[in-house]
Chain A
Amino acid sequence: MTLKLAVPSKGRLMERTFEWFAARGVGLRRTGSAREYAGAVEGAPGLELVLLSAGEIPRELAAGRVHLGVTGSDLVHEKLARWDSRIEALSGLGFGRADLVLAVPAAWVDVSILDDLDAVAAQFRANHGFRLRIATKYHRLVREFLRARGVADYQLVDSQGATEGTVKNETAEAIADITSTGETLGANHLKVLDDGLIHSSQATLYALPEARLSAGQAEIRRALVARLGL
């Protein structure tokens, strides 16, 4: 009987996660060669380390194939409908911070807030015959944000990379993308709307609710949570 903890399988996110757990007395490390996705745990009996792509961790958690997972809150909110009724956020880990923001061309001096964007969407549709395009890979988050604020006459176009370039390339009029410093946005002649913060993301430890664990797993989880001081 083990409890599976999923951690991003590479890069800074994995390293910082290992550091965060180590600081709380739980040792996580990769085993074998750098290419092999296997891991070992020290200081937390019954806990098993699983290395996965950060983008797959929300799905694996929701399906119950892993029991704990570290990934960006942006990925959980985007990929899991009603995420908070399915898994629990145990703790933000304080790193991997990035903001999902709505940005428009900096030359749009008449657009600073969502009110403006909504009005411009109506103008754009009347003049161009199609709905103003917002390029993003965060469809759910952006759509829910704009619906809650009553913005109309826009469409989302999928962009899985180099999203900041879509406006210049005339495949979109605005973008919604993750930024940590805003430098890329500025370099691409884009500006963030004053009220255009859609989601503040950070690496977060998520868990299945206890009701979805066996008695033995629930006990391992309680011991781990106590150990981590959560």
Chain B
Amino acid sequence: MATRAAIREKAAALQALFRDAGAQVIEADILQPAETLLDLYGEDIRARAFVTHDPLAGERMLRPDFTVPVVQMHMQDGAEPARYTYSGVVFRQQEDGAGRASEYIQVGYEVFDRADPPASDAEVFSLISRALDGHGLRAVTGDMGILMAAVRGLDTSERRKAALLRHVWRPARFRALLERFSGKLPVPESRARLLAEADPMARAAPLIGLRSAREIAERIAALRADAHEPPIGAGETELLDRILGLAAKAPAALAALREMARDMPALAESVATLAARLEALDGRGIDVAALDFEAGYGRSSMEYYDGFVFGFYAEDRADLPPVATGGRYDALTRVLGQGRSIPAVGGVIRPALLMECAP
């Protein structure tokens, strides 16, 4: 295990690479308002972040990552386009991974640029790839945008699509919803009973709480409408399964997705984005033919990625978390931007892990 001083030195060297690539050096507070992170990630973040309490300002979290404060900073007063780099400690509870570090340095590079998102993806990936060069790491790439485009392209109601998109990062829930919407799971008994009643609210108990009778009536109406909705066809669920199971070298994956886009034209735009990204990666000297692509990659991480995603792994060290990770998070800028948004992509390296995979 490297000493703290050595890790700091490594972090500084990595950050110098990012600075030389044109990034502005920024800092972020360690204590972040808990509410923002809870609203983004949900209650689950409490199991992963350290929560503390300010007697006046209320709940705070020790920053679990830099992305959120960096996006907030940029959305407030950032110039466009912008490139940022940061280096500092982040804090994560490790309840399930005994022995893993609960505080460690991340060095990051983030790009906010509207001009050419696939080129920005390639810029971030190739820069990080270069920084890791010689350590024998295996890169995995993916693209959340493809699965999301496939869901949007389903021949079903907007309500069902919204329900699936909401759970795109929770694979088990996503699967259960898909099985229900495609008729593979029976309608729950309680729902069948509800729908059989002419006026389910007639005999109801006294209404208490903030959720109003109108909201209950609205949902019953939505459930009634949904009961008449035909199941999602077998062809479409098979297509989703093929996308989720797709793992190949990038050129073969692209060819397979182009084939799928013939059955589902809604995929075409995201597949074209993938093609443009691969071309941009090739232009930056990445060996695209050897690059792994998994269409389901990045689904169960807690991050907010909605496009390109990647991770770098030490192949002979399955015990180690990824040495570097990153991705595109356009939607996050919209959520934090109060009505404004900007395409954004970035990644982080963990220098301590990188030093464990010495060349």
Chain A residues engaging chain B, CB cutoff 8 angstroms: 81-82, 85, 105-110, 112-113, 115-116, 118-120, 122-124, 127-128, 131, 139-140, 143-144, 146-147, 149-156, 167-168, 170, 172-173, 188-189, 191, 194
Contacts and interface: CB of A to CB of B under 8 A. Distances in A.
10 contacts: A85-B98, A107-B201, A107-B216, A109-B220, A116-B190, A124-B210, A147-B44, A149-B173, A152-B42, A154-B42
A109 B172 contact: no
B26 interface: no
A109 B211 contact: no
A173 B166 contact: no
B44 A143 contact: yes
A109 B201 contact: yes
Q: Which size class do B's interface residues fall under? A: 35 or more
A147 B172 CA distance: 10
A123 B214 CA distance: 12
A82 B167 contact: no
A143 B290 CA distance: 41
B176 A173 contact: no
A44 to B, nearest CB: 34
Interface of B: 38-39, 42-44, 46-47, 95-96, 98, 163, 166-167, 170, 172-174, 176, 180, 188, 190-191, 194, 200-201, 204-211, 213, 215-216, 218-220, 223
Given A122-B166, A152-B170, A112 B190 contact: yes
A159 to B, nearest CB: 14
Nearest to B185: A115
A82 to B, nearest CB: 6
Contacts of B42: 131, 152-154
Given A107-B207, A112-B191, A150 B215 contact: no
A173 B209 contact: yes
Contact of B205 (A107, A119, A122): A107
Contacts of B163: 119, 122
Contacts of A127: 215
Contacts of A82: 95-96, 98
Contact of B223 (A85, A110, A140, A152): A110
B211 A120 contact: yes
Contacts of B46: 139, 143
Given A105-B211, A115-B176, A115-B180, 13 more contacts: A105-B208, A109-B216, A110-B220, A112-B194, A116-B191, A131-B38, A143-B46, A143-B47, A149-B172, A154-B42, A170-B209, A170-B210, A188-B208
A29 to B, nearest CB: 39
Contact of B200 (A110, A115, A118, A119): A110
A123 B173 contact: no
B207 A109 contact: no
Contact of B219 (A110, A154, A155, A191): A110
A118 B211 CA distance: 14
Given A106-B204, A108-B216, A131-B39, A113 B209 contact: no
Contacts of A149: 172-173
Per CB-CB distance, the 10 closest pairs between chain A and chain B, nearest first, are: A150-B173, A112-B190, A106-B205, A107-B207, A150-B170, A167-B209, A109-B200, A107-B204, A168-B208, A110-B219
Nearest to B169: A152
B196 to A, nearest CB: 12
Contact of A124 (B98, B180, B207, B211): B211
B167 A150 contact: yes
A11 to B, nearest CB: 32
Given A152-B167, A173-B211, A123 B219 contact: yes
Nearest to B177: A115
Contacts of A188: 208
A168 B220 CA distance: 23
A109 B47 CA distance: 32
Nearest to B221: A110
A115 B170 CA distance: 14
A122 B38 CA distance: 15
The residue in B98, B163, B166, B209 that gathers the most chain A C-beta atoms within 10 A of its C-beta is B209
Nearest to B201: A109
A105 B190 contact: no
Contact of B209 (A85, A105, A123): A105
A146 B42 CA distance: 11
Nearest to A190: B208
A209 to B, nearest CB: 15
